[in-house]
């Protein structure tokens, strides 16, 4: 477990840190320009040798700081996690220093975060899309992006010429994987029964 002595000494040692409210693990707020030196000292001095996860949050358009990245570190010495939260200063072209030099596991996590949120990781060794194709123009996990998708041409021109296929918004209604409105799991499963509205046709209020 991460004990209180450790968290106090950590906050004391790095004056730029501040503690964030968290319901589970000890969470710190770290300014983006300190993230590389902080994670390096976490790895070398504090025994947090494992990067568990690196992802981002879109707080929504109109927020003062729209994007932030979240790093989960695990220590086999402390047997516990520390969560590092950093705000991206620029809302239009969000960026963050890459920690792939310190934790090689961050390499693909950062590529996925770039792919889904459009956050550029500075000094990343190979920052390109990992899930969507290279020419894809959107960042699908941003708040304004609809789950169904947006009309987009497919990358291979010769295949498109023969098949006339393109990315089309997926239908959101009905379907075989819609649960009934009763039962213990009905709140956590897709249950759109109303077929009068789709992504193209707004749901009537």
Question: Is 76 or 131 the residue whose CB approaches another protein more closely?
Answer: 131
Nearest to 80 by CA among 101, 104, 45, 52: 52
**Residue 167 found at the interface with another protein (CB under 8 A):** yes
Question: Is 36 or 141 the residue whose CB approaches another protein more closely?
Answer: 141
Q: How many binding residues for another protein (CB under 8 A)?
A: 29
Q: Give CA–CA dist 71/52, Å, rounded.
A: 8
- Buried/exposed code over 144-161 (b: 16+ C-beta within 10 A; e: otherwise): eeeeeeeebeeeeeeeee
Range 131-150, binding another protein (CB under 8 A): 131-133, 138, 140, 145-150
CB of 127 to another protein, least distance (A): 18
**Residue 191 found at the interface with another protein (CB under 8 A):** no
**Residue 3 found at the interface with another protein (CB under 8 A):** no
CB of 42 to another protein, least distance (A): 34
Residue count (the chain): 205
DSSP per-residue codes, 30-89 = --GGGHHHHHHHHHHTS---EEEEEEEEE--TT-SS-EEEEEEEEETTTTEEEEEEEE-S
**Residue 154 found at the interface with another protein (CB under 8 A):** yes
**Residue 171 found at the interface with another protein (CB under 8 A):** yes
Residue with tokens 């749901």: 203
Q: Which residues bind another protein (CB under 8 A)?
A: 131-133, 138, 140, 145-150, 154-156, 159, 162-165, 167-172, 175-177, 190
């Amino acid at each position: 477990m991460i004990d209180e002595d450790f968290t106090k000494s950590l906050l004391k040692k790095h004056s730029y840190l501040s503690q964030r409210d968290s319901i589970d693990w000890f969470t710190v707020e770290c300014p983006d320009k300190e993230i590389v030196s902080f994670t390096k000292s976490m790895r070398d001095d504090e025994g947090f040798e494992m990067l568990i996860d690196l992802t981002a949050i879109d707080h929504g358009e109109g927020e003062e700081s729209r994007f932030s990245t979240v790093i989960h570190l695990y220590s086999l010495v402390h047997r516990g996690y520390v969560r590092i939260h950093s705000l991206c200063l620029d809302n239009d072209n969000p960026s963050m220093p890459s920690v792939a030099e310190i934790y090689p596991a961050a390499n693909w996590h950062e590529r996925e975060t770039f792919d889904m949120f459009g956050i550029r990781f500075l000094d990343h060794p190979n920052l390109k899309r990992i899930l969507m194709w290279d020419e894809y123009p959107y960042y699908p996990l941003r708040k304004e992006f609809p789950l169904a998708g947006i009309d987009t041409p497919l990358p291979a021109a010769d295949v498109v010429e023969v098949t006339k296929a393109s990315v089309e918004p997926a239908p959101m209604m009905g379907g075989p994987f819609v649960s009934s409105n009763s039962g213990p799991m009905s709140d956590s499963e897709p249950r759109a029964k109303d077929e009068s509205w789709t992504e193209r046709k707004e749901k009537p209020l």
